[in-house]
Structure 1
Amino acid sequence: MIDLTILLDGRSEDPLYTQLYQYIKTEILSGKLAAQTRLPSIRALSSHLHISRNTVDLAYQQLIAEGYVQSRPRSGLYVIDLELETLSSSYSSSMNMPKASVQERSAIQYDFRYGDVDAEHFPFSTWRKLSNQSLQMNQQMLVSYGDPIGELGLRNEIANYLHGSRGVNSSPDQIIIGAGIQYLLGIVAGLLGAAINSIAMEEPGYDGARTIFQHNGLPVHPIPLDEDGLNIQKLYESKSRIVYITPSHQFPHGMVMPLAKRMQLLKWAADMNGIIIEDDYDSEFRYVGKPIPSLQGMDTHQRTVYLGTFSKCLLPSLRTAYMVLPPALLELHKKHNYRLYDQTVSQLQQKTLELFMSNGHWEAHIRKMRKVYRQKQMTLISTIKKLMGNQATIIGQDAGLHILLRVHNGMDELELIQTAEKVGVRVYPVSPFWTHPTQAERSMVQIGFGGLSNEDIITGVHALHHAWFNNY
């Protein structure tokens, strides 16, 4: 139930109930009162607006009569889904097209969205148990704002994990926790802002990062890719002193930057007195070759900001990410009073995650999810190769939770997406990852597989093959 705050004019020629009815009707038609929203009770609204119950009752009766709301016994008044009602009335009289068919034909059954994860294997019972344990440990602590950079216990766990898994060298004091990579990138952009003329980024690259930099007034200089990642020579030529990069799994093309090129990039930072922003967003999921240490762990000059997230291994809805600041930027963080920013991740969630890591559940979960996602990736790739053969080229299959697919059927990006939707499958564009979308490859789409079952992946690819190659 919601509150309705309305300015009613007692001097108007329109009665108060008419004014109230017109207001609610307008809110419904504009979408501000969504379908299935419960309206306040007659008693509650009359008390809130200081008007008689009869006035509210008359307005509600008019809304019911005109079909904007419906009364549910012992429950209340609810806004009707006008869009669904329109479909129903349009098609209910047709014997050849029942009203459900329109929704069925337009429904997306297989959504290959990158960023979706496998919720089926998330240890909800363990998380619930640890969350309850956190509530019982120190209730006074959990109702306070907490440490602005994150709770020390969780920062200790993250530091230990990163050192063992990614070779990151840091103390807990260098780690800052925040609600997502983009929030943390906003802090980095603020720290660097006045000191730089532009920021270099991979082209194509993560559009979420590009937007954060642009919103903070930082011009973005796109740097083209080689087969093994960022073109270092073009980076030198750009004269930028800051570079944002995804070396462990380039987004979106998926290549893994080899050790030799990582050394070249670190040399660039030393030569240019520059800063590397290393986004290690899904480094846990590498399927080919030996793991390569993070740039931060190889950086003897301490010029690398390291970013990571729990969104891919756990759940995006947890909104928990972290960054490791080099000493120079950590001093700027203190100097410019960034500790006045309140922590954006709840203490309860931080404490639960700390217990999840300290009790060994985190690493066990990663090991399990590597197998789960590896199987899904193999299912996706093998099905594409079996059905499409040389009619499609798979790009970026060595790591991560998505691939790019270059389709050789003459369709452009938009046509591929729209044709797929006609058979209930959603795939995604690649052009937004380019600074200038018109320069993107014409016939390429992004396919994520984390949120689908193996069976749905197979069925979804069969539907794509039918849509793209059988003159659907």
Structure 2
Amino acid sequence: MTDEQNYIYRKIYNQLKKDILDHKYKSHEKLLSKRSLAKEMNVSINSVKTAYEQLIAEGYIYTKERQGYFIESLNELIVEPNHQSDGKQFKEKVEEKSHFKYTLSHMSTNLSEFPIETWTKLQKQVFKESQALLSEVPYFKGPLQLRQSIAKLVSFKRGISCDTEQIIVGSGTNALILYLLKLFDQASLIGIENPGYTRMRHLIQQQNFEISHIPLDNKGASIQTIKKNNPHLMLTTPSHQFPIGTIMSISRRIELLNWATSLEHFIIEDDYDSEYKYGTDNIPSLFSLDKNNRVIYLGTFSKTLLPGLRISYMILPEQLVADFEAAFKDSVSEISTLNALTLSKFIDNGHYERYIRKMSHLYEHKRKKLVRILKTRLSKSVTIKNVKAGLHFVIYVDSPYTYEQVEARAEDYELELYTLNRFMQEDISQQFAQTIIIGFANVEDEKMHETVEVLDKVLFGSD
């Protein structure tokens, strides 16, 4: 069909459909024959035939052999004026984050050095080599190739020894947590660090699980409160506590493992940004220290590669694997097989490790520079909790403004900024000095001085 023929067919089809929906025809009323309508409109019979066939396919008309085309019996569509919308409210929501001129967000990653050409090349290879696998319904644990790559990666980087069947690949950490919760009775009590990851807390609450809020001390999650409240699952971020940044000491890790072993409870280890350590070696993961199958490990590629890639993974203790397989054997993986297989090649060919090394140098440079500027350019002294890990740190300040006022002032100054207020379940501000989360991954070098000057106005300015 030529462009002109397609235009004519569409014009006939759209006009007839509109007239039918506007009830300009009666139910079962006969339409003009193809020849008659074509002659009346001075178009080809084929254009009319194509329009009629599309209307038949969509159920607007029907045909009787040797009698012609007739209008289907259609009820009038109810239109409630009060429920009409022009969609403006959605446009506003889509655009609401675009007004930030400066950022100190802990959620951003830097994509300036991502090897997009290498990724695209590998993706093309996957498409050529794995068409059979790409055409299949995705396996619910994720492609075996990626799980094998992850098994080698965590063995090398985190000292974790596991079978590929223990690894579940999912579309983000939150999605994996939802899978995990289905393996446990809703009467289970879940411990979460306070302050801690707000989205995760909300997600667990939405599944109607009871939460025990575990305070922090200088070694990490309070072992005294954990022992007192005895949650069935304890969610923790030991490699770089979120958001305070504490690296859980080895003594606390052993205490936590002993607690879980003695009660046969489980620890969920969220190792969300363990790849980034500056000037120090990685502290062993809880999973690698565990000898009694009490740790569930969560890892993600969102912080190291592309947040939009949405590929994370979970490593289950051996005794939970069968339960998971029974619960989800009829499920389908939500991740893109093409992206998963590309990531597998990216890891196996050494690109991932090279990229992590490169980004570690970049982030260390940004962190050191930002710390120096904060120390010299803020009008009042601040305490910097300069933990050499992850993609954020915190500063303790003595601002005349409340958290709510700081957040509002940051909005006014077009600065994307988060305070501890976002991550506290209840008011525990008396346990901490005023705490500001400083993300440095996506701060532009050339705007770093200016960003700190804006931060100074937000925290200490008198306007």
Q: 1:232 Cα shift?
A: 0.5
Question: Which residue identity does 2:416 align to in structure 1?
Answer: R
Tell me which residue corresponds to 1:218.
Answer: 209
**Displacement of 1:49:** 11
Query: What is the Cα deviation at residue 412 of structure 1?
Result: 1.0
Runs of 4 or more above 6 Å deviation: 4-7, 46-51, 79-84
Q: Residues of 2 paired with 1:232 and 1:303: CA distance?
A: 16
Contact 1:127 1:356 in 2 (8 A): yes
Question: For 1:339, which of 325, 329, 332 is the aligned residue?
Answer: 329
Q: How does 1:274-289 map to 2 (within 5 A)?
A: 274-289=265-280
5 Å matches for 1:35-434? Answer: 107-194=99-186, 196-336=187-327, 338-388=328-378, 391-395=381-385, 397-434=387-424
DSSP-derived class of the 1:192 partner: coil
2:28 corresponds to which residue?
none
The answer (yes or no) to whether the contact 2:173–2:300 under 8 Å persists in 1 is yes
1:389 Cα deviation (Å)?
A: 6.7
> 1:384 is paired with a residue of what secondary structure?
helix
Relative distance call for 1:445 and 1:136 in structure 2 (3 A) is same
Could you tell me which runs of 5 or more consecutive residues in structure 1 were left unpaired when the two chains were aligned. 12-42, 52-78, 85-102
Tell me if structure 2 keeps the 8 A contact 1:255–1:398: no
Counterpart in the other structure of 2:80: none
User: Could you tell me how far 1:465 is from its partner in structure 2?
Assistant: 1.5
What is the CA distance between 1:455 and its match in structure 2? 2.0
- Tell me how far 1:287 sits from its aligned partner: 2.1
Equivalent position SS for 1:191: coil
User: Residues 305-361 of structure 1: CA distance to partner in whole angstroms, max 9, x if unpaired?
Assistant: 00000001101000000010001111211233x122210111101110011011110
Deviations 1:371-421 (A, max 9, x none): 111111112211111112753222353211112233212111121122223
Paired position in structure 1 for 2:47 = none
**Which AA in structure 1 matches 2:436?**
V
Q: 1:107 to 1:177 in 2, by over 3 A?
A: closer
CA–CA distance in structure 1, aligned partners of residues 88 and 229 of structure 2: 54
Aligned-residue offset at 1:227: 1.0
Could you tell me whether the CA contact under 8 Å between 2:379 and 2:460 is conserved in 1? no
The letter of the residue matching 2:439 is G
| C-alpha displacement of 1:111 | 2.0
Helix, strand or coil at the partner of 1:436: coil
How far did residue 187 of structure 1 move? Answer: 0.9
Distance 1:412 1:82 in 2: 30
Label 1:438 to 1:236 Cα distance change in 2 as closer, same or farther (>3 A): closer
- Mapped partners of 2:265, 2:158: distance in 1: 22
Which residue of 2 is the match for residue 55 of structure 1? Answer: none
Letter in 2 for 1:119: L
Distance 1:248 1:407 in 2: 25
Whether contact under 8 Å (1:281, 1:308) holds in the other structure is: yes
Q: Secondary structure at the match of 1:314?
A: coil
* In 2, Cα distance between equivalents of 1:186 and 1:451: 30
1:466 Cα deviation after fit: 3.3
SS in 2 for 1:341: coil
* CA distance, structure 1, for counterparts of residue 21 and residue 392 of structure 2: 54
| Alignment RMSD (CA, Å) | 2.9
Paired residue type of 2:101: Q
Does the C-alpha gap of structure 1 residues 139 and 82 become closer, same or farther in structure 2, counting only changes over 3 Å? Answer: closer
Q: What one-letter code is carried by the residue in structure 2 that aligns with 1:171?
A: D
Task: Note closer, same or farther for the CA distance 1:421–1:187 as it changes in structure 2 (3 Å cut).
Answer: same
Alpha-carbon contact 1:379-1:458 (below 8 Å) kept? no
**Which secondary structure state, in structure 2, belongs to the residue aligned with residue 243 of structure 1?**
strand
Contact 2:149 2:348 in 1 (8 A): yes
Q: Which amino acid aligns with 1:174?
A: Q
Q: Tell me by how many angstroms 1:218 deviates.
A: 1.2
2:207 & 2:407 partners in 1: Cα distance? 32
For residues 134 and 435 of structure 1, do their structure 2 counterparts lie closer, same or farther at Cα, with a shift above 3 Å needed? same
TM score, norm. by length of structure 2: 0.78
Q: Is the 8 A contact 2:378 2:453 kept in 1?
A: no
Aligned-residue offset at 1:444: 2.8
Q: Return the offset for 1:230.
A: 0.9
2:189–2:209 contact (8 Å) kept in structure 1:
yes
Which moves more between the two structures, 433-442 or 288-297?
433-442
Question: Hey, what's the Cα distance between the residues in 2 that align with 1:306 and 1:247?
Answer: 11
Gaps of 5+ in 2: 1-13, 25-50, 62-85
In the alignment, the residues of structure 1 paired with residue 117 and residue 261 of structure 2 have an alpha-carbon distance, to the nearest angstrom, of: 48
Instruction: Please state whether the residue corresponding to 1:136 is helix, strand or coil.
Output: helix
> Of the two, which has the highest radius of gyration?
2
How many residue pairs get aligned? The number is: 388
Are 2:193 and 2:213, in contact at CA under 8 Å, matched by a contact in 1? yes
Range with bigger deviation, 455-464 or 304-313: 455-464
- For the 8 Å contact 1:225–1:231, the answer to whether it is kept is yes
